Amino acid sequence: MMDLIILISPLALGYFVGTWVEKKHYRSIIEREKGFLRLPAVTIKRVHEPEEIERAQLVAGSAVISVDYFKRFLAGLRTLVGGRVKTYETLIDRARREATLRMKAEDPSADTIVNLRIETSSISKGTNQKSVATVEALAYGTAIHLKK
């Protein structure tokens, strides 16, 4: 019985703390996205004529997000039967959105960010390469300032 309690305790703690931290992070992302609504990040070939552009510069943002122990455990169970792994979907969503926000924060006075690209990679822990411990997202693009 004691062994069962020792197994369930970290899982329950991971579930409650992990869920709380994830919700808190999502609230933070949503609030900061509202602040950057006026700064679009788009992927198009040509947004402005060259004579309209005052300056252009590369901007980038990176975020490394980890999944909690409980969700990693559930994802491991999900791989046994197949199907969507929602745990990792939210992990990647949070990482991409956070990286995009950090990219926009590098030059908040820009008029637009063109050619947005997002790269993701998993960072595995230990020798088991199939277990995803964290995911990194890198967002980059060109911040455009127009002549006034």
Two tokens at 57?
Answer: 């510069």
Q: Report whether pLDDT(133) > 80.
A: no
- pLDDT for 108 equals 94
Q: How confident is the model at residue 44 (pLDDT cuts 50, 70, 90)?
A: confident
Whole-prediction pTM value? Answer: 0.81
CA distance 6 to 14: 13
Check if the beta carbon of residue 123 is closer than 8 Å to that of residue 134: yes
**How many other C-beta atoms lie within 10 A of the C-beta of residue 137?**
24
Summarised one tens digit per residue, pLDDT across range 91-124 is: 899 999 999 999 999 999 999 999 999 999 988 6
Superfamily of domain 2-146: Hypothetical protein apc22750. Chain B (3.30.110.70)
Backbone CA torsion sign across 85, 90, 93, 99: negative
